Structure 1
Amino acid sequence: MRKTIAATLGAAAVMAAGLMPISATTAAAADYPVTEFRVPYGASVITGSVTWHNRDVVITGELRARSSTKQARFRGLAEHCDTGIDTRTAQAGENRPFRVPFDCNYPGGFTYVVVALWDGADHRGTAVCTRQGCTNEN
C-alpha cells in the first residue's frame, strides 16, 4: 500500500513540476537524427530540418520570400537513390511552410539531402545535409 501511494505521489510531483516521464514513444523518436538547415539570401530564407529514417527522410520548414518570388528546391541522394528535384514556391511577401517526404527503398536510405534557394533563374544558396549536420555552400 505504501509503495502504491509513494508511486502515485511521485507521478503527481513530476506532473505538477511540468515534467513528463519519458515514454517508449519519446525514446523511439530520439532514434531518428534531425539536422537543421538555414539558407539565407537578403531578407529571404529557407529554414527547416531533415528527419532521417532508415529508408526515407522528411524535410519540413518554411520558405520566406521578401522582394520577389523565391523557390526552394529539394533533392535526396544516395548510391541507389536519387529523388530528382522537388520544388516549393513562395510569392513576394509570403511565408510558405513545406513538408517534403522522400522515400529510398534501400537499406540505409539517403546519404545527402540538398536544399537550394533560387530567385527566378538565379541560384542564391545551398545547404547540403547528412545525418551528422548541414553545411552551407554558395
Structure 2
Amino acid sequence: MKTHLAAAVGSAALTAGALLGAPAAGAQTAAYPTTPFDVTYGASYVRGTLTWYNRSVGVDATLRAVGCRRAWFGAYGASGNQLGAVSTSPKCDTTYKFKVPIPADAPGGAAYVIVCLDDGNANPLKCGRYNRP
C-alpha cells in the first residue's frame, strides 16, 4: 500500500513541477517588425507592408496601375550596398495584389528598402525609402 501511495505522491509532485516550469498557455515568440509603405504617383500607387526578417524582407502589396506601371523593391545593407531586388512585370490599367520576398542575405538583414513606382519600361517615376524599425 505504501508503494502505491508513494508512487501517487511522487507522480503528483512531478506533474506539479512540470506545470510550474512550463511556459504560460498561449505564449508566443515576438512577431517580426513591419513597416507600412505608400508610393503614389498621380492616380497610380504601390502600397502595403514590409515585414523585416533576418535575411529577407517580405512584401505584401497592391499596385494600382493607371496606364502601364510596375513596382520595384531594393533591399540595402547598413553600408548602402544592395542586397537584393525584385520587380513586378508591367501591369496596365489594373489593380494587382502580390506577395514577394526580397533577398537580403547578410547578417542582420536589410537596413532599409527602396520602393519605386516605375513606368512600363522600368523607368522610376517616384521612389521612397523605408528604414528597418
TM over 0.5: yes
Is the Cα contact below 8 Å between 2:41 and 2:125 reproduced in 1? Answer: yes
Partner SS, residue 69 of structure 1: strand
For residue 54 of structure 1, what is the aligned residue in structure 2? Answer: 54
SS at match of 1:24: coil
TM-fit CA distance, 1:91? 2.9
Structure 2 unaligned spans of 5+: 1-24
Q: CA deviation at 1:80?
A: 8.8
Partner of 2:69: 70
Distance 1:103 1:33 in 2: 16
Give 1 or 2 for the bigger CA radius of gyration: 2
TM-superposed CA distance for 1:48, in Å, is 0.8
Consecutive aligned runs of 4 or more in structure 1 exceeding 6 Å deviation: none
C-alpha distance in 2, partners of 1:103/1:40? 24
Is 1:86 matched up with 2:89? no
Q: Say if 2:131 is the partner of 1:130.
A: yes
Deviates more, 1:71-80 or 1:44-53: 71-80
Identity of aligned residues (%): 35
The CA deviation string for residues 29-51 of structure 1, in whole angstroms up to 9 with x for no partner, is 2xx11001101111111001110
| Secondary structure, aligned partner of 1:93 | strand
Q: Which residue number in structure 2 is paired with residue 45 of structure 1? A: 45
- CA displacement at 1:87 relative to structure 2: 1.1
Q: 1:90 to 1:105 in 2, by over 3 A?
A: closer
TM-score by length of 2: 0.69
Q: Distance in 2 between matches of 1:104 and 1:81?
A: 10
What is the Cα deviation at residue 102 of structure 1?
2.3
Aligned to 2:27: 24
Tell me, in whole angstroms, the C-alpha distance in 2 between the residues paired with 1:34 and 1:110.
13
Displacement, 1:81? 6.1
Q: Distance in 2 between matches of 1:63 and 1:124?
A: 14
For residues 84 and 40 of structure 1, do their structure 2 counterparts lie closer, same or farther at Cα, with a shift above 3 Å needed?
same
Q: How far apart are 1:84 and its partner, in Å?
A: 4.3
Q: Is the CA contact (8 Å cut-off) linking 1:72 and 1:88 kept in structure 2?
A: yes
Preserved contact between residue 65 and residue 92 of structure 1 (Cα < 8 Å): yes
Counterpart-to-counterpart distance in 1, 2:72 and 2:92: 17
Deviation sequence 1:42-86 (CA, Å, 0-9, x none): 1111001110122221011110012x1101111111149634432
Q: Which amino acid aligns with 2:45?
A: V
